[in-house]
Amino acid sequence: MIRGWQQNWNNKMNKVFTNAKEAIYDIEDGDVLMLGGFGLCGIPENCISALVDKGVKGLTCISNNAGVDDFGIGLMLKSRQVRKMISSYVGENEEFERQLLSGELEVELIPQGTLAERCRAAGAGIPAFYTPAGVGTEVAEGKEIRVFDEKNYLMELAFDAKFAVVKAWKGDTHGNLIYKDTARNFNPMMATAGRITIAEVEELVPAGELDPNHIHTPGIFVNRIFQGVNYEKRIEQRTTRPRK
Task: For 136-164, write each residue's pLDDT tens digit.
Answer: 999 999 999 999 999 999 999 999 999 99
DSSP string, 77-135: HHTT-EEEEEES--TT-HHHHHHHHHTSSEEEE--HHHHHHHHHHHHHT--EEEESTTT
**Which residue would you say has higher pLDDT here, 36 or 91?**
36
Tell me the β-bridge partners of 131: 154
SS (H, E, C) 146-183: EEECCEEEEEEECCCCCEEEEEEEEEECCCCEECCHHH
Question: How far, in Å, are 46, 76, 92 from residue 49 at the CA level?
Answer: 5, 9, 19
Neighbours of 175 (CB within 10 A): 24
The pTM of the whole model exceeds 0.85: yes
Structural domains in the chain plus CATH codes: 12-128+158-227 (3.40.1080.10)
Residues 6 or more apart whose Cβ sits within 8 Å of residue 244: none
Contact status, residue 141 vs residue 154, Cβ threshold 8 Å = no
- Asked whether the beta carbons of 21 and 53 are under 8 A apart, the reply is yes
The predicted-structure confidence for 1-58, as pLDDT tens digits, reads as follows 455 544 444 556 789 999 999 999 999 999 999 999 998 999 999 999 999 999 999 9
Distance CA 219, CA 234 (A): 28
Q: Is residue 194 helix, strand or coil?
A: coil
Which residues make beta-bridge pairs with 138? none
Percent of the chain clearing pLDDT 90 (strictly above): 81
pLDDT at residue 242 in the model: 84
